[in-house]
Amino acid sequence: MKSLVRVLFAGVAVTALMAGCASGVKHSEMASSIPSLKSGEGRVYFMRSASMFGAAIQPDLRLNGQVVGTSKPGGFFFVDRPAGKYVAAASTETEKTLSFVLDAGETKYVRSSPSLGLMVGRVVLELETPDKAKEELGSLSYTGDVAKPMTK
């Protein structure tokens, strides 16, 4: 009986964790339909690996104080912005930030990764190299608003 309860509990736990993972169109399936950049703008991709570690930690991601999406395991989204200075941020028990300059025509890749915190986990932001980001993007699911891409 105890083993049946354990199996049921494990199944419920895995289902709950999987519900928090990104689902949707893969980057590889939608890459050809992503619009080109407008003059004077750059693009910022936000991405997170499909790891079960920290799957329940899914904070909002902000760019210069504006919520642009959510950090979801196995997900990505992008925003187009005018060239300039930007601060990406994620908050759980503490706020983690990443500052960078976006040039016109440039694409930046911001990786969000869960890490251990004191009370709850936190999400750390870091710039990813274009080669490594492009290699992983194909397997990630789009978590942005399909009806209206995140452009400004």
What is the CA 72 to chain-centroid distance, rounded?
5
For 83-120, the pLDDT digits (tens) are 999 999 998 878 899 999 999 999 999 999 888 765 56
**Model's pTM, two decimal places?**
0.79
Q: Which of 108, 112, 118 is nearest to 90 (CA)?
A: 112
Q: Is pLDDT of 123 > 50?
A: yes
Pairing of strands 41-47, 60-63: unpaired
What does the radius of gyration of the chain's CA atoms come to, in whole angstroms?
Answer: 17
State the chain's mean pLDDT as an integer: 82
Q: Where exactly are the structural domains of the chain? A: 2-151
How much of the chain exceeds pLDDT 70, in percent? 78
User: ∠ at Cα 60 (58, 63), nearest 5°?
Assistant: 140
Pick 33 or 20 by higher pLDDT.
Answer: 33
